């Protein structure tokens, strides 16, 4: 089976093809650099995404603060993560870049202060 993607690692957006046989990657084509090859293989085997959201802040200058995961998480786990985030409540002050929580070993980082 051949999977076709547009690489999202950099703005060049190379059209990448990954050929899989018996559950194993046998060939990657179309990438311009090793980062794209690595991303394309991961996209077939275990796709991951950095997740961004907002969570409520108590006693802050703003009612919510934007957050993101410090690293990409498996796509299949995103709904579980979103449930965790929906129950998360922060208390001001929150500083930009601060780790405000941890989920399954993944740091949740504030991308704005409150
Ligand atoms: S393959 Fe390399 S050059 Fe092409 S979009 Fe991906 S990261 Fe950029």
Q: Dump pLDDT digits (tens) for 49-69.
A: 999 999 999 998 899 999 999
At 90, list the tokens.
Answer: 């922060």
- In angstroms, rounded to a whole number, what is the distance separating the alpha carbons of residues 30 and 4? 10
Mean of the per-residue pLDDT values of the chain: 96
10 Ramachandran zone, left/alpha/beta (phi>0; psi -120 to 50): beta
pLDDT of residue 23: 87
Pocket of ligand 1 (CB under 6 A): 7, 9-10, 12-14, 31-33, 35-36
Gap from CA of 34 to ligand 1 centroid (Å): 8
How large a percentage of the chain has pLDDT more than 70? 100
Which atom of ligand 1 lies closest to the CA of 9?
7
| DSSP tag of 70 | S
18 and 38 belong to one structural domain: yes
pLDDT band of 42, cuts 50, 70, 90: very high
Q: Are residues 62 and 103 in the same domain?
A: yes
Mark whether 22 and 39 lie in a shared domain: yes
Q: Residue 47: is its pLDDT beyond 90?
A: yes
Interval between CA 30 and ligand 1 midpoint (Å): 9
- The boundaries of the domain holding residue 60 are 52-110
Structural domain count, the chain: 2
CA of 32 to the centre of ligand 1 (A): 5
CATH number of the domain to which 106 belongs: 3.10.530.10
Q: Is the dihedral of CA 98, 56, 68, 87 positive or negative?
A: positive
Say whether both 61 and 36 belong to one domain.
Answer: no
């Amino acid at each position: 089976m051949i999977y076709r993607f547009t690489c999202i690692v950099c703005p060049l957006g190379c059209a990448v093809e990954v050929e899989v046989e018996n559950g194993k990657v046998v060939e990657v084509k179309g990438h311009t650099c090793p980062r794209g090859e690595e991303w394309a293989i991961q996209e077939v085997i275990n796709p991951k995404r950095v997740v961004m959201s907002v969570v409520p802040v108590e006693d802050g200058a703003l009612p919510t603060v934007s957050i993101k995961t410090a690293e990409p998480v498996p796509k299949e786990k995103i709904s579980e993560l979103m449930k965790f985030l929906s129950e998360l409540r922060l208390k001001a002050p929150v500083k930009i870049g601060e780790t405000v929580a941890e989920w399954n070993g993944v740091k949740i980082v504030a991308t704005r202060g409150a």
